[in-house]
């Protein structure tokens, strides 16, 4: 059997094992929603979309897309929690802001962002567009040492 075939078969076995062990029953928390819109007049008072949650050590980190009402601005927010239910908003919110008029990420596109932690640094991939109509959506990349202070990659968009 060739190397490629072994890799394909091994990958299929891993995927099937993962599906067999996947969560099949979910129960809604009676306290839902655990994250509602921001306070009136805030940058995210029009709504929030939770799109990425990871656990680092004993802390859950949540990133969400937020927008104001009326939709004139949007950004990416961050919150932390010890239990995944009670969330503390990051005082730096929004932790990633939209670009200046005319830039490729003038508007963030939802659902966005996706975040991972490699043990030393947080990595975010997010979608942006130059217009609120979303005619051309592109992908950006940013990094952070703490999940709060983000640096957009100078070579954006990466996709």
Lowest mean pLDDT among 17-21, 26-30, 104-108: 17-21
**Is pLDDT larger for residue 32 or for residue 78?**
78
8 A C-beta contact, residue 124 and residue 112: no
pLDDT at residue 15 is higher than 50: no
Give the integer Cα–Cα distance in Å for 63 and 44.
13
Confidence check: pLDDT of 102 > 60: yes
pTM score, whole prediction? 0.80
- Inform me whether the pLDDT recorded for 17 exceeds 70: no
Q: CA 101, CA 98: separation in Å to the nearest integer?
A: 9
> What does the pLDDT look like over 139-148, one tens digit per residue?
999 999 999 9
- Read off the DSSP letter of residue 100: P
Per residue in 111-125, pLDDT (tens digit) is: 679 999 999 999 999
Task: Count the Cβ atoms, other than its own, within 10 Å of residue 52.
Answer: 20
């Amino acid at each position: 059997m060739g190397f490629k075939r072994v890799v394909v078969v091994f990958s299929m076995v891993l995927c099937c094992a993962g599906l067999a062990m996947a969560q099949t029953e979910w129960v809604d928390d009676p306290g839902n929603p655990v994250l509602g819109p921001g306070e009136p007049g805030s940058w995210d008072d029009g709504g929030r979309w939770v799109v990425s949650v990871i656990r680092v050590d004993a802390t859950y980190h949540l990133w969400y897309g937020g927008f104001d009402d009326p939709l004139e601005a949007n950004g990416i927010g961050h919150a932390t929690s010890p239990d995944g239910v009670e969330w503390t908003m990051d005082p730096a919110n929004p932790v990633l802001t939209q670009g200046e008029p005319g830039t490729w990420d003038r508007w963030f596109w939802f659902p966005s962002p996706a975040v991972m932690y490699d043990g030393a640094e947080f990595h975010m991939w997010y979608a942006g567009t130059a217009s609120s109509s979303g005619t051309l959506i592109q992908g950006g990349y940013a990094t952070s040492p703490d999940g709060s202070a983000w640096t957009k990659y100078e070579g954006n968009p990466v996709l």
